Amino acid sequence: MNRIPLIHISRRKDIVWYKAWLIRIVAIILALVLCGVITMVTTGLNPIKVYAAMIDGTFGTTRRIWMLCQNIAILLCISIALAPAFKMRFWNLGGDGQALMGALGAAAVMILLGDKIPNGLLILIMVVVSIACGAIWAVIPAVFKARWNTNETLFTLMMNYVAIQLVAFFVIVWEVPKGAGKIGIINQNTNAGWFPQVGGSKYLLNIIIVAVLTIAMFIYMKYSKHGYELSVVGESEPTARYVGIKVRKVIIRTMVLSGALCGVAGLLLVGGTDHTLTTTLVSGRGFTGVMVAWLAKFNPIYMVLTSFLIVFLQRGAGEITTAYSLNQSYGDIITGIILFFIIGCEFFLNYKVSFRKSHKEVA
Amino acid sequence: MDKQSPILELKHITKRFGNITANEDVSLEVYQGEILALLGENGSGKTTLMNAIAGIYYPEEGQIFVNGKEVSINSPKDAYDLGIGMIHQHFKLIDVLSAAENIVLGLKDKRRYDLKAAGAKIREICDKYGFDVDPNQKIYNMSVSQKQTVEIVKVLFRGADILILDEPTAVLTPQETEKLFNVLRNMKQDGKSIIIITHKLNEVLEISDRVAILRKGRYICDIKTSEADTQQLTDAMVGHAVTLNIERKVPVDPKDKIIVKNLTVRDSDGVEKLKNINFTARTGEILGIAGISGNGQKELLESIAGLQKIETGSILFVNEDGTEEELVGMDPKKITDMGITLSFVPEDRLGMGLVGNMDLADNMMLRSFRHGHGLFTDRKAPYELAEQVVKELEVNTPSIRTAVRKLSGGNVQKVLVGREIAAAPTVLMTAYAVRGLDINSSYIIYDLVNKQKARGVAVIYVGEDLDVLLELCDRILVLCDGQVSGELDGREADKQQVGLMMTRLGGAEHE
Amino acid sequence: MFGFLLSFIPRAVSQGIPLMFGAVGETITEKSGNLNLGTAGIMYVGGICGVIGSFLYETRTGIENMNAFLGILIPLVCCLLGSLIMGLIYCFLTVTLRANQNVTGLAMTTFGVGFGNFFGGSLIKLSGADVPSIALSRTSQFFSAKLPFAKDLGWFGQIFLSYSFLAYTAVAMAIIASVVIFHTKLGLQLRAVGESPSTADAAGINVTRYKYFATCIGAMVSGLGGLYYVMDYASGVWSNDAFGDRGWLAIALVIFTIWRPAHSIWASILFGGLYILHIFIPSGTNLAIKELYQMAPYVVTIIVLIFTSLRNKRENQPPASLGLSYFREDR
C-alpha cells in the first residue's frame, strides 16, 4: 500500500515562447530521426541522402518551387477556411466536400456557359457560383447543428462522400469524349474561364489570392466583431448568450464563410491551374487542412508555416519516390509519423511532468 | 469519548495547486462511532483536505494513518479499500445508468455480475438505515435528494466505515435534511465514523459530536460539540467575531425601476423553477434576495437579464419619465438596444460572465465589442478599462494580457464586477458576489455595491450569508421553492425570521 | 424477384462484413469515450499486415507446401498485431498525452492508408507482377472456405451459410460485444468511463486502463475488417486504395446503430446492400445515375444523424464524454 506516484503531472500555467518552440523543434527532429531509421530498415537507403533528395525535390528547380507554392496556396486556402469554424469549436471535417462542390460549381459554369458570354463575366459567374456551392455544402450541417445540435463532425464527414458522388455523376454527364469516364481539360481551345496568367505563371495569381485571403482571415479573426463573436461562442455559449450574441446566427454565418472559402479553393484549382474536374481533385486536403489549422492553433499566419511543413513533406516524398523508385505513399507515412510527434509534443507544452523522489521533497 | 486510538489520522498534510496552498500542515483525528463536523468558510480548504483522504488529490506533504497504519491513498479505489467513502457535493453518478448499476460500479469482487443480488443487498441496506431507493430507477429520473441517497448507499454497499459528506444539506429541503440526519445517527449507532463538511453552524450543533475548524487552509482547533457555542465556533471559523460593520445609508428618493408581476418560469424538463413571483426593485436601494441556493435565484436574475424563457408574467422596466417597457421576450442585445443598461454578475463567473481563456482586456470587450467602427472592434477602450479596473479594484494579475482563468477566484470576481459597474448601469444584479472571496475582497465588493446604490442604481443582491444580507440590504426578499416566501425590511428583520422563511414557505406569519 | 434476392443478399453480406468489423470495433472504442477517426487507417493496416504475413509465408514455403492452419494463423496474427499497434499509438497520443482525438484520428488515417499503400506497392514490386496488385490466391482459398454443406441446402444455404469463417466471426463479435457491453460488469464499467470518466475514476475504475483496453480491442476488431476484405471479398488480391472509404462508412454505421453493436449485424448488411445497389439497378446506358445511387449509405446516415438529434432520447445519445480527453486534476 505504501507506494507513492513516481510521476506527477500537472497543468502548466504558462510556458515561455522559446521553450515552446524548443519542444516543437525537438519533436520534429526526433520524428525525422525515427523516419530515417524506418527508411533505413524498410528500404535500405541512406536516410540523409533521402532527406537531401527531398529538399532537392522540393526546392531543386524553379518549377518545383512554383509547385510547392501552388500546393501550399491551395492547402492554406482550405486551412484558413476551416480555422474560424474550429475556433468556434465546430468540427468542420467537410473541407474536402466543400472544396469539391466549389470546383464542381466552377467547372459547371465553364462547361455550360463556356463560349456564350464574355470571359470576364464568365469568370465572375464562376467565382459567385463556386463560392455559393461551397457555402451551401457547409451551411446544411451548420443549420442542423445550430437548431438541433446535430453532431457536426460526423455530418460534415458524410457530406464529403455525397459531394464526391455528385461530382462523379457530373463527370460522367459531361465526359469528353463520350465513354471516356473523365472530363479532360475544359475549354482547351478557347481557354474560356481560365484565369489570366500573372507574371507569366499560372500559379502566381492563385498564390496572390490566397496570400490576400490569409491576411484578411487573420484580421477577421483577430480584429473584427464577427471574429470576436465566434471566439466567444467557441469558448462558452452561455457567455455568448449573456452578452446577447445570437449563437445560432454566429454558427451559421461562420460556416457560410468557412464553406465559401473552401469553395474558393475549389475554384482556384479548376479555374487557375487544373482546368478539369475529377473526384480526387481536392485529394484529402480537407483533412490535411484540419491538421494544418489545429497545429497552428487556428492562427492563419502560423498556418503558412504548418502548411509549408506538410506540403514540403508530401512534395519531397513525392520526388524521392521517383528518385529512389519508392512508392508514392511513402510521403504519407513520413507525414503521419511527424504529425504523431507534433501532436504528442503539445502535451509537454500544456502539462508539466515532474518526478517525485520522496514525500518530503516537493515536486 | 474514551481515549481510544483514532480510526483515521492525518499528520501535517499540505496540498498545493501551483502557487496556491490549499492546505498547510493540517493534522486531524477521527474516532470510531463519531460524527465529526469539519467547519470552515468557503475556500478554507475543507473539501481539498477531504479529497486528499478520498484519493482525488495526492498531498504534497504529510502522512495519513488508518487504524494506526500509514497508508498512501493514490486513487478513490485505494480509499474504498481502506473503508473510506466520500459523498461529493457534485454527485458522481452516471445519468443513463440505474441506481443499482451506479452502486455496483467499480466494485471489485470475484463473484458473478448479478444486478438482482445487488438489488437485494441494496434493499437490505435501505431497510437497515431507513433509506428509500428503487434500484432499477435511472438516475436522470431522480430528484436531487434521491441521487444523494444513492450516493450514500453506494458508499455503504462498499462497506465503508468512514463516510465523508461534502455539504450534504446544501441541496436539501428541511424535511430531507432531517431525514438525512436521522440516517446519519443510525449509522453512528452502527459504529460508522462520519465526517460532515459544512459551514452551517446550526447543523454542526445539531448533528455532530466534535467540530474541527479550518481557516485559510490551516487547522485551527477542535471542540467537543457539547462544550461549544455559536460564538466560539464563529470566532474560530472567521478569526474574529462577526461584526461586519457594512455601511448602509438610507435610500435617497427611491423610485420603482423593475416591477416583476406573476412571473412563472419552467426549466427544459418542464419543472416550475419560479412560481408566480411578484416584487419591485427601486432606485437607490439594495434589494437582497435570500434563500437556500437552487430555490430560483438563478432563474429570477436570468429572467430579468433576458436569458430565460418565460412561461407567464411580466417584467417591467420603468424609464426616467415614468413610462414602462416590457422586458419579457427580450434578449440581452435587444435590452441594450432599447437603451437600458442592465449589469449582471452571474453566479458562474467563468462559465457565463467571463471567458476563461481570454485575457482581461478581451473580457472587458464582452460588453463593448459592438461599439467599434464598422466591422471592427475597438480594442483600445477595453484595454484602458482593464487597466483602470486592475488599478481601482487592486486586481492581482501578472498583466492585462493574462488569461482570466489563471487568476484566483477573488480576482476573477473583481474583473467581472469591475466591468459590470463600469457600464454605469441603471440596474445592477449580482449573484453570490462574494462567494469564495476573502474578507478584504468582500468588503471591496460591498463598497462597490453601496457606491452604485448611492448613484441611484437599483441593486438586486442575491446572497447566501444572512449576516451580510441583514447589514447590507434595504429590503430582503426571501425565496423558497421558487416562490416568494416573504419580504422584509432589512433594518428590522432578524436572522431567525429570515432563516425560517428560507426553509418554510411564509416562515413565521409576518407583515 | 426471388432470384434477384438470392444473388443480391450474399453479395450485400460479403460487402457488409468489413463494415461490420469496423463498426463493432469502433463502437467498442467509442463506448470508452474515444472517437477514433483513424478507423479507416487501422483497417488498411490490418489488411496489409495480413497480406505481408501471408506473402512471406507463401513465398517462403511455396504454394504447394502451405498448411491451412498456418496459412490462416499467420495473416491473422499479423493483422491483429498491426491493428493493435495502431490502437496503442492512438491511445498513447489521446489518453496518455491527451491530444485532440479528431486530429490524432485523421493523422492515423493518413499514416495508415499510406502504410497500407506503401507496403502494398513494395510487395507488388517484389512479386514482379505486371498488374498493380498482388494476388494471394492460396491464402485466400483458406480464408474463403465455405461451410461444406451450404450448397446442399438450396436458397437457405446460399443466403445464410455461404460465407467464410471470418464472416461468422464478425457476427459473433457483434453479439459478444453487445452482451459484454450491456450485460456484464466489464461493460458497465466501460460505459461508465465513456459517459463520465471523472465519475468512473471516483468509483475506483482505472479510466486509462479501460480506454486503452477498449480502444485496442476495438482497433483489432476493426483491423479484421481489412483482413476479411483482402482475403475473402477481394479473393486475396491487394491493390492500392481498393479498400476505399469503407472505414468512414463503418464510423457512419456506429451512429446509424446508435452505439448498439448487435444492430450492426443487419445494419452493415443493409449498408453493404446500399453500397452495391447501383450494380443491380438497371440504368440502361445512363451510367451517370449509378454514381448517384452510391450516395445512398451516406445520405441514409445523415438522415439517421438528424433523426436521433431531433428525437433527443437520453438512451440514444453518443457516450457523453465522446471526443474529450480526461485529466483528473482538471475537475
Q: What is the DSSP string of C280-303?
A: HS--TT--HHHHHHTTHHHHHHHH
**Residue C69: per-residue pLDDT:** 86
**Chain A within 8 Å of C95 (Cβ-Cβ)?**
no
**Residue B184: per-residue pLDDT:** 92
Cα→Cα distances B222→A11, A278, B47, C22, Å: 35, 79, 17, 61
Residues B226 and B103 in one domain: yes
C50 is in which domain, residue-wise?
Answer: 2-143+163-330
C158 domain residue, yes or no: no
**Residue C285: per-residue pLDDT:** 66
CB–CB contacts below 8 A, A to B: 91
List the subunits that have 3+ CB pairs under 8 angstroms with C: A, B
B349 domain residue, yes or no: no
Strand-pair category, A351-355 with B8-17: unpaired
What number of other Cβ atoms are within 10 A of residue C46's Cβ?
38
Distance between CA atoms of residues B425 and B419, nearest Å:
11
**With contacts defined as CB-CB under 8 Å, which chain B residues touch A229?**
369
B3 domain residue, yes or no: no
* Overall domain count for chain C: 1
pLDDT of residue C3 exceeding 50: yes
pLDDT in tens, C7-17: 888 889 989 99
Q: How far is A125 from chain B (nearest CA, A)?
A: 27
**Residue A347: per-residue pLDDT:** 87
B284 with B457: CB under 8 angstroms?
Answer: yes
Residues B19 and B152 in one domain: yes
**Chain C within 8 Å of B104 (Cβ-Cβ)?**
yes
Residues B136 and B275 in one domain: no
pLDDT in tens, C26-78: 999 999 999 999 999 999 999 999 999 988 888 888 777 888 888 889 999 99
What number of other Cβ atoms are within 10 A of residue A309's Cβ?
19
Beta bridge partners of B274: B265
- Summarize the confidence of residues B9-14 as an average pLDDT: 92
The C-alpha cell at C310 is 431531433
pLDDT bin (cut points 50, 70, 90) of residue B108 is confident
Q: Do C93 and A340 make contact, defined as CB atoms within 8 angstroms?
A: yes
**Chain C within 8 Å of A335 (Cβ-Cβ)?**
yes
Any residues with CB less than 8 A from the CB of A73 and at least 6 apart, and which? A203, A206, A207, A209, A210, A211, A268
The rounded percent of chain B whose pLDDT value lies above 90 is 27
User: So where are chain A's domains?
Assistant: 78-307
Residues 99-158 of C with CB under 8 A from A: 99-100, 102-104, 106-118, 120-122, 125
Cα→Cα distances A76→A69, A107, A265, B183, Å: 10, 22, 9, 64
* CATH code of the domain in which C32 resides: 1.10.3470
C157 domain residue, yes or no: no
CB-closest option in B307, B351, B377 to A225: B377
When mean pLDDT is compared across A217-231, B343-357, C208-222, C237-251, the lowest value belongs to: C237-251
Q: How far is B385 from chain A (nearest CA, A)?
A: 17
Q: Do B107 and C328 make contact, defined as CB atoms within 8 angstroms?
A: no
**With contacts defined as CB-CB under 8 Å, which chain A residues touch B352?**
236, 238-239, 242
Distance between CA atoms of residues B366 and B354, nearest Å:
8
**With contacts defined as CB-CB under 8 Å, which chain A residues touch C98?**
347, 350-351
Chain A: which residues have CB within 8 Å of chain B?
Answer: 1-5, 8, 10, 13-14, 223-226, 228-229, 231-232, 235-236, 238-239, 241-246, 359-360, 362-363
Distance between CA atoms of residues C138 and C60, nearest Å:
13
Distance between CA atoms of residues A177 and B456, nearest Å:
82
The rounded percent of chain B whose pLDDT value lies above 70 is 91
In A, minimum Cα distance to B362 occurs at A228
Q: What are phi and psi of A269, to 5 degrees?
A: -65, -45
Distance between CA atoms of residues A199 and C188, nearest Å:
66
- Summarize the confidence of residues B291-307 as an average pLDDT: 86
Last residue of a domain, one of B423, B447, B464: B423
H or E element in which residue B344 lies: strand B342-345
Residues B126 and B213 in one domain: yes
B45 domain residue, yes or no: yes
B385 is in which domain, residue-wise?
Answer: 354-423
**Residue B460: per-residue pLDDT:** 94
Strand-pair category, B69-71 with B61-66: antiparallel
CB–CB contacts below 8 A, B to C: 65
In C, minimum Cα distance to A331 occurs at C114
pLDDT bin (cut points 50, 70, 90) of residue C281 is confident
**Residue A259: per-residue pLDDT:** 96
CB-closest option in C184, C191, C203 to B92: C203
**With contacts defined as CB-CB under 8 Å, which chain A residues touch B369?**
225, 228-229
Rounded to the nearest 10°, the torsion over CA C184, C187, C192, C198 is: 110
pLDDT of residue B90 exceeding 50: yes
**Chain C within 8 Å of B454 (Cβ-Cβ)?**
no
**Residue B18: per-residue pLDDT:** 67
The DSSP string of B283-330 is TTEEEEEE-STTSSHHHHHHHHTT-S---EEEEEEE-TTS-EEE-TT-
Mutate to test the interface with A, among C85, C117, C118 (most CBs of A within 10 A): C118
**With contacts defined as CB-CB under 8 Å, which chain B residues touch C314?**
95-96, 138, 140
**Chain C within 8 Å of B97 (Cβ-Cβ)?**
yes
pLDDT in tens, B317-371: 998 888 898 998 888 889 988 888 899 999 888 888 899 889 899 999 988 888 8
Q: Find, among C122, C94, C117, C55, the residue nearest to C242 by Cα.
A: C117
Last residue of a domain, one of B210, B238, B266: B238
pLDDT of residue C115 exceeding 50: yes
**With contacts defined as CB-CB under 8 Å, which chain C residues touch A12?**
none
* CATH code of the domain in which B129 resides: 3.40.50.300
Residues B418 and B430 in one domain: no
Residues B209 and B269 in one domain: no
Residues B113 and B130 in one domain: yes
Q: Find, among B461, B335, B411, the residue nearest to A241 by Cα.
A: B335
Q: Do B366 and A229 make contact, defined as CB atoms within 8 angstroms?
A: no
Rounded to the nearest integer, the mean pLDDT of chain C is 86
pTM, to two decimals: 0.84
**Chain C within 8 Å of B360 (Cβ-Cβ)?**
no
Q: Do A231 and B375 make contact, defined as CB atoms within 8 angstroms?
A: no
**Residue C32: per-residue pLDDT:** 93
C149 domain residue, yes or no: no
**With contacts defined as CB-CB under 8 Å, which chain B residues touch A10?**
18
pLDDT in tens, chain A (363 residues): 344 556 777 777 667 778 888 888 899 899 888 988 888 887 777 888 878 888 888 888 888 888 889 999 999 999 999 999 999 999 999 999 999 999 999 999 999 998 888 989 999 999 999 999 999 999 999 999 999 888 888 899 889 999 999 999 999 888 887 777 788 888 888 888 888 888 778 888 999 999 999 999 999 999 999 999 999 999 989 999 999 899 999 999 999 999 999 999 999 999 988 899 998 888 889 999 998 998 888 999 999 999 998 888 888 777 777 777 667 778 788 888 988 998 898 888 888 877 765 444 333
Residues B417 and B430 in one domain: no
**Residue A358: per-residue pLDDT:** 46
Residues B440 and B458 in one domain: yes
- Reported ipTM exceeds the 0.90 cut: no
pLDDT bin (cut points 50, 70, 90) of residue B126 is confident
**With contacts defined as CB-CB under 8 Å, which chain B residues touch C204?**
75-77, 80, 106, 108
SS3 A88: coil
H or E element in which residue B27 lies: strand B20-30
**With contacts defined as CB-CB under 8 Å, which chain A residues touch C251?**
154, 157
When mean pLDDT is compared across A238-247, B85-94, C76-85, C184-193, the lowest value belongs to: B85-94
SS3 C6: helix
The DSSP string of C223-281 is HHHHHHIIIIITTTEEETTTTTTHHHHHHHHHHHTTT-GGGHHHHHHHHHHHHHHHHHS
**Residue A215: per-residue pLDDT:** 96
Q: How far is B128 from chain A (nearest CA, A)?
A: 32
Alpha helices in B305-435 (DSSP H): 332-337, 360-368, 380-392, 409-422
Q: Which amino acid is at C134?
A: I
Cα→Cα distances C55→A78, A328, B73, Å: 40, 21, 52
pLDDT of residue C270 exceeding 80: yes
**With contacts defined as CB-CB under 8 Å, which chain A residues touch B370?**
225
SS3 B358: coil
C187 domain residue, yes or no: yes
Mutate to test the interface with C, among A147, A159, A161 (most CBs of C within 10 A): A161
Residues B214 and B264 in one domain: no
Residues B456 and B317 in one domain: yes
**Residue B369: per-residue pLDDT:** 85
List the subunits that have 3+ CB pairs under 8 angstroms with B: A, C
* Overall domain count for chain B: 3
Q: Do A239 and B70 make contact, defined as CB atoms within 8 angstroms?
A: no
**Residue C319: per-residue pLDDT:** 84
Q: Find, among C209, A285, C169, the residue nearest to C201 by Cα.
A: C209
Q: Find, among B90, B102, B11, the residue nearest to B52 by Cα.
A: B11
Higher pLDDT among residues B392 and B315, named by residue: B315
A234 with B371: CB under 8 angstroms?
Answer: no
Q: How far is A327 from chain C (nearest CA, A)?
A: 6
Residues B211 and B189 in one domain: yes
The DSSP call for residue B158 is T
**Residue A360: per-residue pLDDT:** 41
Distance between CA atoms of residues C65 and C50, nearest Å:
19
Terminal C-alpha separation, chain A: 21
CB-closest option in C93, C240, C306 to A344: C93
